[in-house]
Structures are given as C-alpha cells and as structure tokens.
Amino acid sequence: MMDFMKSDLTRRVFIGSAAAGALAAHPAHALTSGEARTLIDRVVGDINGVINSGKSQSAMFRDFEQIFQRYADVPTISRSALGPPARSASKSQLKQFSDAFTSYLARKYGRRFREFVGSKIRVTGARKVKSFQEVQAVADLRGQPPFAITFMVSDRSGSDRFFDLLIEGISLLKSERAEIGTMLDRRRGDIDALIADLAKAG
Amino acid sequence: MLLLTLKIRGPAIVAGVLLLAACSVPDTPTDVHDPYEPVNRVTHDVNTAIDTVALRPASQVYGHVVPQPVRTRFDNASRNLGLPAAMVNKILQGQLEEAGENGFRFLINSTIGLFGLFDPAQDFGLHENEVGFGDTLAVWGTSEGAYVVLPVFGPSTERDTAGLIVDIATNPIGTLFGSDAEDAQIGLTVTETLNYRFAFSETFDSILYDSEDSYEQLRLFYLDNRRFNLGQNTDNATSDLYEDLYDGLYEE
C-alpha cells in the first residue's frame, strides 16, 4: 500500500517536472485572442485619452511616444524598418536608431491620430492569423466614413506587444520599411546620417 | 433610361474595355507592378504641383471659411448622387441586398433628406455601399493591371482607370434628373474633394511633402488601401513579412 502510494507520488512528481520542463522550453504560451484584445483595449484607451485631452501638439507627441514604448515591440519594428543593414550595425547604433525612430513614429502617427480628434476608437474583434493575433478597431470620425484600424499582436518578444498598425489597410511597418530603406539608400547606407536626419523628420 | 445612356456613351465604354484588354499583368499578383514608373513619376510631380498651388490652399480656405456642418451636408449630397450608379454596380456584382440598400438610401435621402443634404437613411440602418465599375471589374475577376498615375485624378491602376472611364461615361444623374443635377454633382464632387483634402491634411502633407520619396509612399498607400477596400488584402507579401519578423530573432 505504502509502496503503491510512493510510486504514485514519484510518478506525479515526474510528470510534474516533465511538464515544467516543457513549459520552460516554450516560455511563451500561445497568445490568445482574448489576451491580444486586452492589450489593444489598453492601447486604444490611451490613444483616445490623448487625442481628446486638448493638450498641445508637443505634449501629445510625448504621450504617443510613451504609448509606442509601452505597448509596441519597438526593437523588432526598428530592426525590420532598418532591413538587412541592421545586421552590420553596432549595438549602440541600433539603440540610437531605435530611439530616434520611436520619436519619429510618435510625431508622424501622432499627427495622423490627431485627425481623429472628437472621435473615439473602439475595439471590435480579434482573431488568430498564422502565429499572430489580429485585433480590429474602428474610428468613428466626425463627418467622414469610419476608419478601420488593425493591430497585429505577438508575444514572441517575451511580452504581449503590437508589431504593426494598419489604418485602412495601410501598414505602418510596410510603409516605414520603404521610407527608411529609401532614406538609407540616399545616404549611401550611412546609418549615423540616417539617425541624425530622422530626428528632424516626421 | 440606362440603355439609352449606354447607347450614347458606347464609344467611351469601348475605350474602357480596350484599355482593360491591354492591361499589363504582373508576375506575382500582389507585388507592386509599375512598368510605367518613369512616366508615372512625371505625372506625380505635376499632380503634386497642382496640389501645392491649387488643391491644398483651396482646401484650407474651404475648411476654414465653411463651417463643418455645412461641409458635411455637401459631402452627404455628393455621396447621395453616387448612389444610383452604386446600386447598378451592386446589381452587376450580384449583391442584391446591398443594391437594395443603396436604392432605398437614395430614395429616403433625396426626399426626407432634402436632396441628400441630410442622411436620415443612416438612422434606418441603411448603410452606404460605395462602389464604382472598377470594383465590379475586380469582383468579376479582372486583374489589377499596372499602377498608373492619372493627371489630376492621381493614383490608379489599369483596372480602376477603365472603371473610372465607364463610371464617367455612364453616370446616370444627367439622364435621370437633367443637366442642372449633373452640374450640381460636378460642383459637389469638388467640395467633397476639398473637404477630404482638408480633413486629412496632416496625412496628405506628410506623404506629399515630408516623405523621402513621395511617389513611392503614395503608391504603397494607394495599392494597399485599394486592395483592403476590395477585401483582397490577404496577400502573401505582408504575412511573409510578419513571419520573417520574429524568425531568427528570438529563437536561436
């Protein structure tokens, strides 16, 4: 009887540690639509707060920058925008580029979201697309047809973050990859010149 | 009445169809297909100059002088006059419910809504299904063709250009309601364009004047937005980009 209990206990301990081992190998469990939606609910709540705060433009840009830093996968977006040259860039260049790029995004997309002043963005649904979650939202604009806004969410960076934002089907990631790629080409691949000019752009 | 219009405007439609037959087909359907880029860039520069000296300043005056509610009324009336054509296109696409929605919207807004200035149909839950013949061609399976930049009209594709020619040639408003209505429609199209340029001035300015290559950015904006509106945005280029994003970054 004791032996049986002992072996049962051992078996349970064994199964338990095996499960723990499996979890450790895949620390990021599959992100659910519910979790992605929770994240975007917070993002949208913050954006609504900013666009209808009546703050000055520069104060709004600072708020948008915080939103990007808090909820977006900035390192991954930066690396993708930079493209293949990211591989040869130094760590400090990557960091400088990422910082300049984030405030550039905040200014550029802050201006676009400011056009939604007086409206409210609301999350309408979420679904799994391949290994990502796609969260749909709508901005009901004053005097204009509503705008569809889509957030692409992943937890593969280690935390739940959005890595792309699409307004009426136009992808931030895609357009910034094109934009940064062209900027880099015209500066003959000089990342430092790109970083300096990015501070003035947007 | 529609048949009559078709008969009179036949030559233009033939031109549209011929253009369509000449559509250049891309190697992969979702990539940017831009064989006319050198010519397109010249037209783009001309259009940007038109924006700088005319459209942008006129939209600023219009937006600041005419109060928002009035601008919205004009927009409503302009969209309302597009509904008969949109209804026909929805029929051609076999989407009868949406065709009916457009038809009832037109009836309600033209009467209770005072020539479409107001939008009471929205309160009845009748939504607008804004479509042109370019959308119908897409539903029929016509390929997008090459990217083209039209003078004044701006970004388009070969398919949408054919659609635009047919839309203009078969516009039923003049035939149905006389030339005064047609003139009013042209005027309202102008105010709607001005209001759109004004409402999204930050975005337009950012693309046209602040981006490194405004031609490239506008092309990307137009094509992605167009495919999105046609429900064709499930292209592989974007999802491949997403897949590549994390591969090799966090899984050593």
Q: Which of A117-131, A187-201, B32-46, B94-108 has the highest mean pLDDT?
A: B32-46
CA distance A99 to chain B (A): 19
**First-to-final CA distance of chain A:** 75
Chain A residues with a Cβ under 8 Å from any Cβ in chain B? 76, 79-80, 108, 111-112, 114-115, 129-132, 141-145, 148, 152, 154, 156-158, 163-164, 166, 168-171, 173-175, 177-179, 182-183, 186, 201-202
**pLDDT value of residue A21:** 45
A41-82, pLDDT tens digit by residue? Answer: 999 999 999 988 888 888 989 999 999 999 999 999 999 999
Q: Tell me: pLDDT of B251 over 50.
A: no
Task: Give the Å distances, CA to CA, from A162 to A150, B67, B249.
Answer: 10, 38, 16
The one-letter amino acid at A64: F
Q: Tell me: pLDDT of A199 over 90.
A: no
* Reported ipTM: 0.80
**pLDDT value of residue A130:** 83
With H, G, I as helix, E, B as strand and everything else as coil, classify residue A38.
helix
Q: Tell me: pLDDT of A138 over 80.
A: yes
Among A148-152, B159-163, B242-246, name the one with the lowest average pLDDT.
Answer: B242-246
More confident residue, A54 or A149: A149
Q: Tell me: pLDDT of B8 over 50.
A: no
Q: Tell me: pLDDT of B39 over 90.
A: yes
Residues of A in contact with B203 (CB under 8 A): 111-112, 115
Confidence of residue B6 (pLDDT cuts 50, 70, 90): very low
Q: Is B199's CB within 8 Å of A144's CB? A: yes
Residues of A in contact with B209 (CB under 8 A): none
CA distance linking residue B17 with residue A82, whole number of Å: 43
Cβ atoms B239, A129 nearer than 8 A: yes
| Torsion sign (Cα): B209, B210, B214, B218 | negative
In angstroms, how far is CA B38 from the centroid of its own chain? 24
Cβ atoms B130, B229 nearer than 8 A: no
Average pLDDT along chain B: 84
